[in-house]
Structure 1
Amino acid sequence: MVQSLQFSQPLYQQIYDIIKSSILAGELKPGQKVNVSQLAEKYNISRTPLREALRQLQIEGLLVQDHLGLSVVKLEETDFKDLYECRLMLEPKIMGLILKTVANEELEEIEKVLLKAESAFKEGNLLQLLELNAQFHDWLLEASPNKRALHLLQQVRSFLLLYRANILKNNEHNREILKEHRQILNALKARDEAAVIQNVENHLRNDLERGTNMIRE
């Protein structure tokens, strides 16, 4: 169903949100070509805001440009593993630093995000669950005192968004991920650095296995 555009947001932001949701929900499939003219006609907008939206999706790694044109990024096992190796090198160390700076009040706010994610899982709202799972990591990582390392990690996580969306189509994976997020949060609240790093590494390695199996299916 075609979503209607509103006047409350810039057009490029609205069309960006619509196309991004279509990609993450699987309506636009990995490898599928994106026709700019058809999209402009479909949403009755000029090419200027549309191209700005598509440019932002390219920056985030959801769309790719080659000699054949613009298309949704393909799910590639080698690329996925390379990205997760980057996460494994960066994220546990960053989380260890966060433990020294994150306030109890911030952990309480992060727990609220986790509770919302658990509710979204029970309601079967996968796109909201994807967003809330991302927020869980984002809120934690924002407490990092090393902003350069944080910026690198955010780039890696952005390129993994489509992979994560596909992993979340499996309910058992959702249950496991929420349990692992809860374990990470509990370790942070206990101020146990070794447990924080171990739980983060376990979560990432489990995600790597979940994603690899998803790609191979």
Structure 2
Amino acid sequence: MDKIVKNESLHLQAYNIIKEGILKGDYEPSKRVIEAKLADRMGISRGPVREAIRMLIQDGLLIYNNGFVRVYEPTMRDVVEIFQCRENLETLSISLAIKNITDNQKDQIADNLEETNKAFEQNDGVELGRLDQQFHDIIMQSSNNNQLIQLLGAIRTKIHYMRNSMVNGDFYPSFVEEHNRIYELILKGEEETAEKIMKEHIRKGLEGVLMHINH
């Protein structure tokens, strides 16, 4: 676990440390989270940890269950519902991105795709997960819509957690090709086709998660 830096906001540091641990799989789904133990491990008082836990409950990564705080354990219904939300928000995101994307953001996507192809050749699942999230984050930021960015950010965090906790970060083979195709459509300004490809891309992601759950 990362160390706390005393001259920075303690509750935000605690929040980021616990959140990173959850997303990395250090805490198993439904595992009980004990405030006092976390505080002791980080070498801080319980107050900042309590605030961090409150923030993570708001994020949906921790929940109250029978009087205890536990790590969120997604159900199949949760997975389907969150991907439904993601599909519609990502479609809006790419539509707005085509209208608002900057040259610098286009360059960021190009760099991301180059790194993604290398990671795919090396079968580096951890790096692919990071780059996949980065790709969608750049498009999200390119939308230039703060409310959309906030909503998608919360949803993406949950999807990242679901992928790591339920499917071990696996990716379906064509996702790299789809990222490249989406980038080409952004450059060409082909909004309608880009929306269609993005919808298919998100649906394949859902199918991949459900396939692992069913097996």
- Normalising TM by the smaller chain, what interval? 0.7 to 0.9
Return closer, same or farther for 1:60/1:196 CA change in 2, 3 Å cut-off.
same
Deviation per CA, 1:70-115: give whole Å up to 9, x if none: 1110021101101111122232133123212213332112222333
Checking the alignment, whether the CA contact within 8 Å between 1:76 and 1:215 is kept in structure 2 is no
Greater Cα shift, 17-26 or 199-208: 17-26
Could you tell me which residue of structure 2 aligns to residue 161 of structure 1?
A: 160
**For residue 63 of structure 1, what is the amino acid of its counterpart?**
L
What are the residue-to-residue correspondences of 1:5-16 with 2, within 5 Å? 5-7=4-6, 9-16=8-15
Distance 1:115 1:165 in 2: 23
Could you tell me which residue of structure 2 aligns to residue 75 of structure 1?
A: 74
* TM-score (norm: length of structure 1): 0.83
Could you tell me which residue of structure 2 aligns to residue 143 of structure 1?
A: 142
**For residue 193 of structure 1, what is the amino acid of its counterpart?**
E
Could you tell me which residue of structure 2 aligns to residue 211 of structure 1?
A: 209
What are the residue-to-residue correspondences of 1:96-115 with 2, within 5 Å? 96-115=95-114
Checking the alignment, whether the CA contact within 8 Å between 2:167 and 2:213 is kept in structure 1 is no
Distance 1:15 1:120 in 2: 31
Could you tell me which residue of structure 2 aligns to residue 202 of structure 1?
A: 200
Using the TM superposition, give the Cα deviation of residue 40 of structure 1 relative to its aligned residue in structure 2, in angstroms.
1.7
Using the TM superposition, give the Cα deviation of residue 174 of structure 1 relative to its aligned residue in structure 2, in angstroms.
6.0
Could you tell me which residue of structure 2 aligns to residue 23 of structure 1?
A: 22
3-state SS, counterpart of residue 211 of structure 1: helix
Number of equivalenced pairs: 214
Instruction: Determine if the alignment matches structure 1 residue 34 to structure 2 residue 33.
Output: yes
Using the TM superposition, give the Cα deviation of residue 118 of structure 1 relative to its aligned residue in structure 2, in angstroms.
4.3
Distance 1:124 1:43 in 2: 31
Greater Cα shift, 68-77 or 140-149: 140-149
Return closer, same or farther for 1:47/1:166 CA change in 2, 3 Å cut-off.
same
Return closer, same or farther for 1:18/1:216 CA change in 2, 3 Å cut-off.
farther
Distance 2:7 2:59 in 1: 24
Greater Cα shift, 55-64 or 201-210: 55-64
Structure 1, unaligned runs of 5 or more: none
Return closer, same or farther for 1:175/1:8 CA change in 2, 3 Å cut-off.
farther
**Percent identity of the aligned residues?**
27
Return closer, same or farther for 1:12/1:114 CA change in 2, 3 Å cut-off.
farther
Checking the alignment, whether the CA contact within 8 Å between 1:63 and 1:72 is kept in structure 2 is yes
Instruction: Determine if the alignment matches structure 1 residue 49 to structure 2 residue 48.
Output: yes
3-state SS, counterpart of residue 27 of structure 1: coil
3-state SS, counterpart of residue 64 of structure 1: strand
Using the TM superposition, give the Cα deviation of residue 33 of structure 1 relative to its aligned residue in structure 2, in angstroms.
0.8
Distance 1:167 1:177 in 2: 18
Distance 1:195 1:74 in 2: 35
Greater Cα shift, 71-80 or 113-122: 113-122
**For residue 124 of structure 1, what is the amino acid of its counterpart?**
D
Structure 2, unaligned runs of 5 or more: none
Deviation per CA, 1:106-163: give whole Å up to 9, x if none: 211222233344455537361x543432222122112225444444333333332311
Could you tell me which residue of structure 2 aligns to residue 124 of structure 1?
A: 124
Distance 1:98 1:137 in 2: 11
Return closer, same or farther for 1:48/1:116 CA change in 2, 3 Å cut-off.
farther
